[in-house]
Structure 1
Amino acid sequence: MNYRHSFHAGNSADVVKHSLLIALVRALQQKPGALTLIDTHAGCGLYDLDGEDAQRTGESTQGVLRAYADPNSVLNDYRAVVQAVNAGAELRFYPGSPRILAQLLRPQDFLILNEKHPRDAYTLRGVMRDTSAAVHERDAYELWLATLPPRTARGVVVVDPPYEQPDDRARITATLAAAYRKWAHGVTMIWYPLKDRAAHRRWNEQLRRISIPKLLSVEHWLYDDDQHGIYNGAGLYIVNPPYAFIQALPPLLEALRAVLAPEGHKGEITTAWLDG
């Protein structure tokens, strides 16, 4: 599955992914100790919703535009990071995870970004020039392991590939196993698209065999039944989610399900522990 982000910026997957990423970082920041935030597939960092790619799909109308207009206060933190990259009430730009993470940084925190695609890396450097982020242009899975353990005791690795390569899931599985051996107490968030439940169950079983004691799966299925051959939603694997994050999840997930459900569908967001 090819998931070039400029075509999908601000869609339902972004709303869920970024809402949970904000909640995860905020939960970790309840303690004063420094964090290292690492984004292995950073992309361009900022996306023009009026641009040709985004307009071709129009997916933001069923994602960020719905969430931004929704009055539920549970989504306030998400709306705030989107508003921060827009000058007025009308949404023109959508922040990728690099710009979102930069907004969340405290003085003691560090941000490491990586984007292998040369053109996107060049754009990313420009987008992040007013921040303290370090920007790399390397193979994402090599950088993932090379940065562990980070200079701080705590941190988050965000893994958000476009799934353009047929071996992405295999490389994620292998790299996660190696990363866990190097940094067992670290927090990792891995995003993935959902196409059909059977294929995804097979990946779940592969990840269970790594035997990570605290591996949470969050799955957002847009439709009440699988729509054959198309994008059906997205999910996140989260290694070592903090207790404060787990406690905040139920109202956040219900707000996201309600605001993002396609017309005629209730949608579904489920959580499960893959504890081997």
Structure 2
Amino acid sequence: MNYRHSFHAGNSADVVKHGLLIALVRALQHKPGPLTLIDTHAGCGLYDLGGDEAQRTGEATQGVLRVFADPNPLLDDYRAAVRAVNVGDEPHLYPGSPRFLAQLLRPQDFLILNEKHPEDAYALRGAIRDTGAAVHQRDAYELWLAMLPPRTARGVVVVDPPYEQPDERARITATLAAAYRKWAHGVTVIWYPLKDSATHWRWKQQLRKLGIPKLLLVEHWLYDSEQPGIYNGAGLYIVNPPYAFTQTLPPLLEALRAALAPEGHKGEIISGWLGD
């Protein structure tokens, strides 16, 4: 499955991913110690919702625009982060994960971004030039391991590939296993699309075999039953989520489900420990 960020900016998967990422980092920031935030597949950093690629899919209308029309205060933090890169009430630009993470930085925190695609890496440097973030242009999985353990005791690695390569899931699994051996207490967030349930089930079994004790699964299913051959939603694997995050997760997930459910569907967001 090809999932190039620019075609899908601001869609329902972005809303869930970024809404949870904000809550996760803020939960970690309950403690004053510094964090290192690492984004292995950073993309361009900022996307034009009126551009050709975003307009070709029109997915923002079922994502960020639905949240902006929803009054639930649990979504205020997400809306505020999107408004921070826009002028006016309606979003015309969409921040990628690097811009969301940059907004969350405290003076003591560090942000490391990586984007292998040359054109996207160039755009990324322009999009985050005012943040103090370090930008790399390397293989994502090589960088993931090279940066661990980070200079700070705590941190988050965000892994958000486009799933263009057939071995993407295998590389994630192998790299996660090696990363966990190097930094067992670190927090890792892995995003994935939900399209082929058989492929996803097999991958889930492979991840379960890693024996990581605290591996949380969050899946957002758009439709009331699986729609074969099309995009059905997206999920996150989160290694070592902080307790403060897991405690606030149920009402946030319900707010996201209600805001993003397509016409004629209730949708579903499920969460649980992978080992259960």
After TM superposition, the score normalised by the length of structure 2 is: 0.99
**Residue 55, structure 1, aligned to residue 55, structure 2:** yes
Q: How big is each residue's C-alpha offset from its partner over 1:73-120, in whole Å with a ceiling of 9 and x where there is no partner?
A: 000110010000001112110000000000000000000000000000
CA distance in 2 between counterparts of 1:249 and 1:178 reads: 28
Tell me the secondary structure at the aligned position of residue 161 of structure 1.
Answer: coil
**Alpha-carbon offset, residue 200 of structure 1:** 1.2
| Counterpart contact for 1:45–1:99, Cα < 8 Å | yes
**Alpha-carbon offset, residue 68 of structure 1:** 1.3
| Counterpart contact for 1:101–1:111, Cα < 8 Å | yes
Match of 1:96 in 2: 96
One-letter identity of the residue aligned with 1:259: A
One-letter identity of the residue aligned with 1:251: P
Q: What 5-or-longer segments of structure 1 have no aligned partner?
A: none
Match of 1:194 in 2: 194
**Alpha-carbon offset, residue 196 of structure 1:** 3.0
Q: What 5-or-longer segments of structure 2 have no aligned partner?
A: none
One-letter identity of the residue aligned with 1:24: L
One-letter identity of the residue aligned with 2:99: R
Q: How big is each residue's C-alpha offset from its partner over 1:249-268, in whole Å with a ceiling of 9 and x where there is no partner?
A: 00000000001001111101
One-letter identity of the residue aligned with 1:71: P
Match of 1:164 in 2: 164
Matching of residues 63-82 of structure 1 within 5 Å: 63-82=63-82
| Counterpart contact for 1:75–1:255, Cα < 8 Å | yes
One-letter identity of the residue aligned with 1:219: E
Matching of residues 1-276 of structure 1 within 5 Å: 1-275=1-275
**Alpha-carbon offset, residue 197 of structure 1:** 2.5
CA distance in 1 between counterparts of 2:19 and 2:45 reads: 16
| Counterpart contact for 1:196–1:226, Cα < 8 Å | no
Question: Identity of counterpart residues, as a percentage?
Answer: 82
CA distance in 1 between counterparts of 2:230 and 2:60 reads: 17
How many matched pairs?
Answer: 276
Q: How big is each residue's C-alpha offset from its partner over 1:120-147, in whole Å with a ceiling of 9 and x where there is no partner?
A: 0000001111111000000000000000
| Counterpart contact for 1:6–1:53, Cα < 8 Å | yes
Root-mean-square deviation over aligned CA pairs: 0.7
Tell me the secondary structure at the aligned position of residue 188 of structure 2.
Answer: strand
CA distance in 2 between counterparts of 1:20 and 1:183 reads: 22
